[in-house]
């Protein structure tokens, strides 16, 4: 059996700031990122902001249908805006969730992004440090566009897909705040789905396809899904730290070499047998930006068809396996 996990480990951010406990916590971080692929980040100091933001979400999603339609993603060639229930597709199936990006809540969004982005930048330094690499090792891979989403999952029939199995696309790491409903699951290296029960105030961190690609595929992007709730509405707030979209696979081969040899190897054959493919590692795409565009077009087929009809046809026919 592969070295794997049956629950998601916790890494304490406050202990990472304290000289006396830093090394012990860095060791935990190394295991969490490179063996497990998921972690809860606790004690970040953002608990108040997270609670305050969650408190606003029911009201935000209760905005009138007209207001939500005014900022519908269909109006944006950059795939930014409101997605109504049933308009999103993951793993070829419709997801039972909706999300607005920011109608009427500019301050809330800006405040959240400014704090979480600072944390995310520091986190990337800690990941380098836990591999005993210079802290700025990954800085040159960071992109200009990170994304924040507010997501609502209405109660649905038992076993429904909130969001299907996927790997986050255009970034390095995701920092997800979930409410107290539950339903998030992650795939371990033996191909088993593991529950990630809510821990109040924590952030669930997972690896995105950008980090997978800059580690030469060695540190795989981690697969997760949400089982839709049955009796209460679920809200979540993922923040996706962006990767540079102009990078090509061949540029990476060279830059990744000195990173890769530091990464602990692990066996994930069972997981790979049922896993979803990574666009970013596919030779079909000229650079990360194109791989990400394909991901957006197929996830939001209405928007994709509207703005990129030819690419929609082309990407729909491609099989990444
Ligand atoms: O809602 C969640 O807990 C997860 C959301 C997610 O995985 C995503 O939007 O990429
Ligand atoms: Fe995700």
pLDDT at 269: 63
Strands 203-207 and 171-178, by their bridges, are: antiparallel
- Span 78-90, mean pLDDT? 90
* CA 240 / ligand 2 centre spacing (Å): 9
- Which domains, and CATH codes, for the chain? 10-282 (2.60.120.330)
pLDDT at 208: 95
Query: Is the CB of 181 within 6 Å of ligand 1?
Result: no
- Check whether 195 has a pLDDT greater than 60: yes
- Span 200-229, mean pLDDT? 93
- Check whether 67 has a pLDDT greater than 90: no
Provide the pLDDT confidence category of residue 216 given band limits of 50, 70 and 90: confident
| Rounded Cα gap, residues 287 and 268, in angstroms | 26
pLDDT at 103: 47
CA angle 118, 122, 127 (to 5 degrees): 145
pLDDT at 199: 98
- Span 227-231, mean pLDDT? 97
- Span 279-291, mean pLDDT? 85
Report the nearest atom of ligand 1 relative to the CA of 162: 1
CB within 8 Å of 131: residues ≥ 6 apart: 30, 34, 137, 259, 262, 263
pLDDT at 220: 87
pLDDT at 170: 80
Query: Is the CB of 168 within 6 Å of ligand 1?
Result: yes
* CA 164 / ligand 1 centre spacing (Å): 9
* CA 166 / ligand 2 centre spacing (Å): 6
Burial class (CB in 10 A: 0-12, 13-18, 19+), 124: buried
- Span 119-141, mean pLDDT? 95
Query: Is the CB of 176 within 6 Å of ligand 1?
Result: yes
Protein residues within 5 Å, CB atom, of ion ligand 2: 168
- Check whether 172 has a pLDDT greater than 80: yes
Specify the residue for token string 């380098």: 128
pTM score: 0.93
Query: Is the CB of 295 within 6 Å of ligand 1?
Result: no
| Rounded Cα gap, residues 209 and 214, in angstroms | 9
Mean pLDDT of all residues in the chain? 90
| Rounded Cα gap, residues 162 and 241, in angstroms | 22
Query: Is the CB of 186 within 6 Å of ligand 1?
Result: no
- Check whether 55 has a pLDDT greater than 70: yes
Considering every ligand atom shown, identify the ligand nearest to the alpha carbon of residue 203 and give its number: 1
Ligand 1 mutation target, pool 148, 153, 167, 184, most atoms within 8 A of CB: 184
Provide the pLDDT confidence category of residue 105 given band limits of 50, 70 and 90: confident
* CA 149 / ligand 1 centre spacing (Å): 9
Specify the residue for token string 């520091």: 122
Residue minimizing CA distance to atom 6 of ligand 1 = 238
- Span 245-261, mean pLDDT? 83
- Span 206-230, mean pLDDT? 92
| Rounded Cα gap, residues 36 and 11, in angstroms | 12
The stretches of the chain forming alpha helices (DSSP H) are: 13-17, 19-31, 47-61, 65-70, 106-130, 209-214, 249-260, 269-274, 288-299, 301-307, 309-317
CB within 8 Å of 118: residues ≥ 6 apart: none
- Check whether 100 has a pLDDT greater than 80: no
Residue minimizing CA distance to atom 8 of ligand 1 = 238
């Amino acid at each position: 059996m592969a070295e794997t996990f049956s629950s998601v480990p916790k890494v304490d951010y406050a202990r990472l700031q304290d000289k006396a406990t830093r090394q012990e916590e860095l060791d935990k971080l190394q295991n969490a990122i490179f063996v497990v692929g998921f972690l809860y980040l606790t004690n970040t100091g953002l608990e108040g902001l997270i609670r305050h933001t969650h408190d606003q979400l029911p009201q935000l999603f209760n905005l009138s249908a007209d207001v939500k339609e005014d900022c519908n993603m269909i109006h944006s060639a950059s795939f930014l805006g409101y997605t109504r229930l049933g308009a999103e597709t993951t793993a070829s199936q419709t997801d039972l969730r909706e999300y607005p990006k920011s109608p009427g809540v500019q301050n809330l969004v800006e405040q959240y992004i400014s704090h979480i982005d600072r944390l995310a930048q520091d986190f990337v330094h800690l990941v380098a440090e836990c591999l005993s690499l210079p802290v700025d090792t990954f800085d040159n891979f960071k992109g200009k566009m990170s994304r924040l989403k507010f997501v609502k999952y209405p109660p649905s029939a038992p076993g429904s897909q909130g969001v299907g199995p996927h790997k986050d696309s255009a970034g390095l790491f995701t920092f997800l705040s979930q409410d107290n409903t539950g339903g998030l699951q992650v795939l371990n290296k033996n191909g088993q789905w593991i529950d990630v029960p809510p821990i109040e105030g924590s952030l669930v961190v997972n690896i995105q396809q950008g980090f997978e690609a800059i580690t030469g595929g060695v540190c795989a992007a981690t697969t997760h899904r949400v089982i839709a709730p049955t009796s209460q509405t679920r809200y979540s707030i993922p923040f996706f730290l962006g990767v540079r979209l102009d990078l090509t696979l061949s540029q990476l081969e060279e830059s990744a070499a000195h990173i890769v040899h530091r990464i602990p190897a692990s066996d994930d054959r069972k997981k790979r047998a049922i896993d979803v493919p990574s666009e970013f590692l596919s030779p079909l795409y000229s650079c990360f930006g194109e791989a990400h565009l394909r991901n957006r077009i197929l996830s939001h087929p209405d928007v994709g068809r509207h703005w990129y009809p030819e690419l929609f046809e082309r990407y729909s026919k491609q099989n990444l396996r």
